[in-house]
């Protein structure tokens, strides 16, 4: 009989009610000691492991837990610490670890960017001048902890060397092989120590194999894994891929490892094993439960899929697991007591996904009748969800079917309408603005919570929001900003807020997932056709504009980002849902314009992150993204200026799409990448207006004027001064009032000095 076991690839770090986040932030605010932080996070980690054991998972991951980021953990384990942090070797202390991620007064934080095409951010390793050394064997420590404290013979999880290097910066591509060789002895030492400690299975994550890496890299990687096998022959190594099918399938399945992990949710892994087969001497680890979405699996469909996988793979062992780490989904639906029952029937968070995996393992191993009751309950829940009256809106479906190219085109080209906008807005050279959100203080959050609990009335809450808008309009005027924002004090999150307003959406109470560091977001649920029947932002924007003669931007989140940062049900095409959101936003854009708002910003920070890992699929994705953005924004008058914002993106490969959005002004993060994005604009002629973020808002450090001037002058070497805007690199929601005012003051002073220098030079 085929041996079938269950496995998990990674578990959410944050705790059911974000206990992890609160511990971290109390430590950063010096409210608890390092000892207390470690005690509290140890308890969370052990509770996570215990829960997986109780759920019946056979292979439980250890070492997937982190105090900030698993890529940063790998860097710390190998002593890859940038010189500016004055690291002197040995185990990396917590102060240095967090400084790399968050910066400190004398050292800027390392660059942060998206983990493949997810909304999780990792800290980019900096290899320049670094010689790796094994400072500690983290997977070994976590393996021993699970074994000694909980009796769990865990499966250590390690970020693979190919992926780690490919995600790093500070070396030239021609030096990849040489840099790789520096890490191999360290990985070997790590694996040998795990083998000696009694570990059976080890998961080595190589998601980079789902991208278009060259065949030469794959062949080099195979040699690396041959060294691993020779060094630790008793270990059962799982080469784990996810987020997409692997491009060089035939070569990778021949790697000298015990098991290969494939993603059967994204990409076409089933077709690959059907066409090319799967080695009989290897275990297939089948990722059939979606690790990146929250919808309940159809157990009948999954069993049928697994039966096909068995048939095509012809192996004598199968591992059933999620398609990726469950880091990307909330912890459990058990805490969701306010959701409509028909929506809740369609949901499965991390714990429920593990229950599905354990059930599928039992059903495949012992026959479908062994889970007959559970299958029936699953079908009934899915039927209730599918038949919900909230899911279908024929009017929206008809509107989508009538769309054509003309619905997504501005009436005048940019070079003609920008002249009208300049005349209408009358802004100075190098205009200053912010990205949108302003500090959400403890008072703001507590007041919103009181309102949601019914402890204060809606009128009281709206009065409170107005007071904050008025306060910050005055602060912005006093600072001397040219284009103001209302501050978004009424919004919990840039996507969740719109999820609460749009039809076809639902929101959770505890559906948090980690975005970066302690920053967690609560993606809304898209369960039906999307529409808008009342304005979402007009009241606050109009009130803010009534307080000042300076222009106040209307602030919206774009259709691509709303989709990418939501959990959308997959029974409707993503591009159809995207266009439904765009049509809803179009109504809001038109309403803002009708009410006197002259600048409307429609943010798309997640446009690039949604790119398929396979570059062959990029064009379809980008064409659809551009169309949706234009659909949302193109119906405005020529004098109405459309802005957009993007952050933490490598823009080189999507430059044409950025241009194609046809936004009048785009603002882009560049501060953490230290101006590297500027090179994209050196190689291309960008005609529209642009703001390259001149300081990093994700770090608590307040930059000085000279540092900001340096960043501005670097950009002005490439971008004409007539096109350039000056702004922070992202919204200021997470910063304190003092940090925000101090940094903006330095930014505005830097802008004024450079403006004067430019005007003086022009007169000469």
Is 292 labelled as part of a ligand binding site?
Answer: no
Contact 289, 350 (CB under 8 A): no
Nearest to 515 by CA among 561, 584, 555: 561
Q: Which helix (H) or strand (E) holds 449?
A: helix 442-452
Residue 514 backbone dihedrals phi, psi, to 5 degrees: -75, 135
Is 488 labelled as part of a ligand binding site?
Answer: yes
Is 520 labelled as part of a ligand binding site?
Answer: yes
Other CB atoms within 10 A of residue 273 CB: 25
Residue 616 to residues 145, 251, 263, 649, 697, Cα–Cα distance (Å): 44, 19, 18, 19, 34
Q: Which helix (H) or strand (E) holds 585?
A: helix 574-594
Nearest to 610 by CA among 360, 266, 226: 266
Residue 169: DSSP 8-state: B
Q: State the Cα–Cα distance between residues 435 and 128, nearest whole angstrom.
A: 32
Is 295 labelled as part of a ligand binding site?
Answer: no
Q: State the Cα–Cα distance between residues 686 and 488, nearest whole angstrom.
A: 30
Q: How would you class 184 by CB atoms within 10 Å of its CB: exposed for 0-12, middle for 13-18, buried for 19 or more?
A: middle
Nearest to 68 by CA among 32, 26, 137, 20: 20
Q: State the Cα–Cα distance between residues 528 and 531, nearest whole angstrom.
A: 9
Residue 662 to residues 461, 621, 712, Cα–Cα distance (Å): 37, 17, 24
* In the block, residue with structure tokens 């960043």: 711
Is 603 labelled as part of a ligand binding site?
Answer: yes
Other CB atoms within 10 A of residue 301 CB: 11
Contact 236, 259 (CB under 8 A): yes
Extract the tokens encoding 79: 């002593």
Is 669 labelled as part of a ligand binding site?
Answer: yes
Nearest to 316 by CA among 278, 350, 351, 354: 278
Is 756 labelled as part of a ligand binding site?
Answer: no
Is 152 labelled as part of a ligand binding site?
Answer: no
Is 645 labelled as part of a ligand binding site?
Answer: yes
Is 369 labelled as part of a ligand binding site?
Answer: no
Residues in the chain: 764
Extract the tokens encoding 247: 């491009």
Of the candidates 121, 245, 569, 698, the residue annotated as catalytic is 698
Is 411 labelled as part of a ligand binding site?
Answer: no
Q: State the Cα–Cα distance between residues 105 and 80, nearest whole angstrom.
A: 21
Q: State the Cα–Cα distance between residues 378 and 366, nearest whole angstrom.
A: 18
Q: State the Cα–Cα distance between residues 434 and 725, nearest whole angstrom.
A: 10
Residue 649 to residues 23, 361, 557, 609, 623, Cα–Cα distance (Å): 30, 39, 17, 7, 18
Compute the C-alpha angle 400/403/408, nearest 5°: 120
Is 565 labelled as part of a ligand binding site?
Answer: yes
Strand order in the sheet with 599-603: 553-557, 599-603, 641-646, 665-668, 689-692, 724-725
Contact 244, 263 (CB under 8 A): yes
3-state secondary structure at position 28: helix
* In the block, residue with structure tokens 């079938």: 4
Is 18 labelled as part of a ligand binding site?
Answer: yes
- Say if strands 525-531 and 503-506 run parallel, antiparallel, or are unpaired: antiparallel
3-state secondary structure at position 740: helix
Nearest to 632 by CA among 624, 166, 674: 624
Active site residue 422: no
Binding-site residues from annotation for 5-methyltetrahydropteroyltri-L-glutamate: 18-21, 114, 519-520, 565, 609
Binding-site residues from annotation for L-homocysteine: 435-437, 488, 603
Binding-site residues from annotation for Zn(2+): 645, 647, 669, 730
- Active-site positions? 698
Binding-site residues from annotation: 18-21, 114, 435-437, 488, 519-520, 565, 603, 609, 645, 647, 669, 730
Binding-site residues from annotation for L-methionine: 435-437, 488, 603
């Amino acid at each position: 009989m085929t041996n079938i076991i269950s496995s998990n690839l990674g578990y959410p770090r944050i705790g059911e009610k974000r206990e992890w986040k609160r511990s971290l932030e109390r430590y950063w605010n010096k409210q608890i000691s390092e000892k207390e932080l470690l005690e509290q996070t140890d308890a969370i980690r052990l509770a996570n492991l215990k829960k997986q054991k109780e759920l019946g998972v056979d292979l439980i991951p250890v070492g997937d837990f982190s105090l900030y980021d698993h890529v940063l953990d790998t860097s710390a384990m190998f002593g890859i610490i940038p010189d500016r942090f004055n690291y002197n070797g040995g185990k990396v202390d917590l102060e240095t670890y967090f400084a790399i991620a968050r910066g400190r007064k004398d050292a800027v934080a390392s660059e942060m960017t998206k983990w493949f095409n997810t909304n999780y951010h990792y800290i980019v390793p900096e290899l320049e001048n670094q010689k790796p050394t094994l400072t500690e064997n983290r997977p070994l420590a976590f393996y021993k902890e699970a074994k000694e404290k909980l009796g769990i013979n865990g499966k250590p999880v390690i970020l693979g060397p190919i992926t780690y290097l490919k995600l790093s910066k500070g070396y030239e591509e021609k030096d990849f092989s040489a840099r790789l060789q520096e890490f191999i002895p360290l990985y070997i030492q790590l694996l040998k120590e795990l083998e000696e400690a009694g570990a059976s299975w080890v998961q080595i994550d190589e998601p980079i194999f789902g991208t278009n890496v060259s065949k030469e890299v794959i062949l080099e990687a195979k040699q690396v894994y041959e060294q691993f096998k020779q060094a630790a022959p008793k270990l059962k190594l799982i080469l784990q891929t996810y987020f997409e099918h692997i491009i060089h399938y035939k070569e990778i399945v021949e790697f000298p490892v015990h098991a290969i992990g494939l993603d059967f949710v994204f990409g076409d892994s089933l077709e690959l094993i059907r066409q090319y087969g799967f080695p009989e001497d290897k275990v297939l680890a089948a990722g059939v439960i979606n690790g990146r979405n929250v919808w309940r699996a159809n157990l009948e469909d999954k069993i049928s899929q697994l039966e096909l996988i068995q048939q095509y793979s012809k192996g004598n062992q199968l591992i059933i697991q999620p398609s990726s780490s469950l880091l990307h989904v909330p912890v459990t639906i058990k805490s969701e007591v306010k959701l409509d029952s028909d929506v809740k029937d369609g949901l499965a968070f991390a714990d429920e996904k593990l229950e599905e995996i354990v059930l599928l393992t039992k059903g495949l191993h012992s026959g479908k009748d062994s889970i007959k009751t559970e299958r029936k309950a699953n079908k009934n829940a899915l039927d209730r969800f599918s038949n919900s009256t909230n899911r279908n809106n024929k009017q929206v479906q008809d509107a989508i079917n009538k769309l054509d190219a003309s619905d997504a085109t501005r009436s005048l080209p940019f070079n003609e309408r920008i002249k009208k906008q300049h005349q209408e807005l009358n802004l100075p050279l190098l205009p200053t603005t912010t990205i949108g959100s302003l500090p959400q203080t403890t008072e703001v959050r507590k007041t919103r919570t009181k309102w949601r609990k019914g402890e204060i009335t809606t009128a009281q809450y709206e009065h409170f929001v107005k007071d904050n808008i008025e306060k910050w309009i005055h602060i912005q005027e006093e600072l001397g900003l040219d284009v103001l924002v209302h501050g978004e004090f009424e919004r919990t999150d840039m996507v969740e807020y719109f999820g609460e307003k749009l039809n076809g959406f639902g929101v959770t109470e505890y559906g948090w997932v980690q975005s970066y560091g302690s920053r967690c977001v609560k993606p809304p649920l898209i369960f039906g056709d999307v529409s808008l029947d009342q304005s979402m932002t007009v009241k606050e924007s109009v009130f803010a504009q009534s307080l000042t003669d300076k222009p106040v931007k209307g602030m919206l989140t774009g259709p691509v980002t709303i989709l990418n940062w939501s959990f959308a049900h997959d029974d409707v095409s993503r591009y159809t849902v995207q266009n439904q959101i765009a049509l809803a936003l179009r109504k809001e854009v038109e309403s803002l314009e009708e009410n006197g708002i002259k600048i409307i910003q429609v943010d798309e920070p997640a446009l690039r992150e949604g790119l398929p890992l396979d570059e062959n699929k990029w064009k379809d994705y980008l064409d659809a993204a551009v169309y949706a953005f234009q659909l949302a924004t193109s119906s405005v008058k020529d004098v109405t200026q459309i802005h957009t914002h993007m952050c933490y993106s490598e823009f080189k490969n999507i430059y044409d799409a950025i241009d194609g959005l046809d936004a009048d002004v785009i603002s882009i993060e560049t501060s953490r990448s230290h101006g590297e994005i500027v090179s994209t604009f050196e190689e291309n002629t960008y005609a529209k207006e642009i703001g390259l973020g001149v300081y990093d808002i994700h770090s608590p450090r307040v930059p000085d004027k000279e540092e900001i001037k340096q960043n501005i002058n670097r950009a002005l070497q490439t971008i004409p001064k007539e096109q350039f805007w000056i702004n922070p690199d992202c919204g200021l929601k997470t910063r304190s009032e003092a940090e925000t005012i101090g940094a903006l003051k330095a930014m505005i002073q830097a802008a004024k000095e450079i403006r004067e220098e430019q005007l003086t030079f022009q007169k000469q």
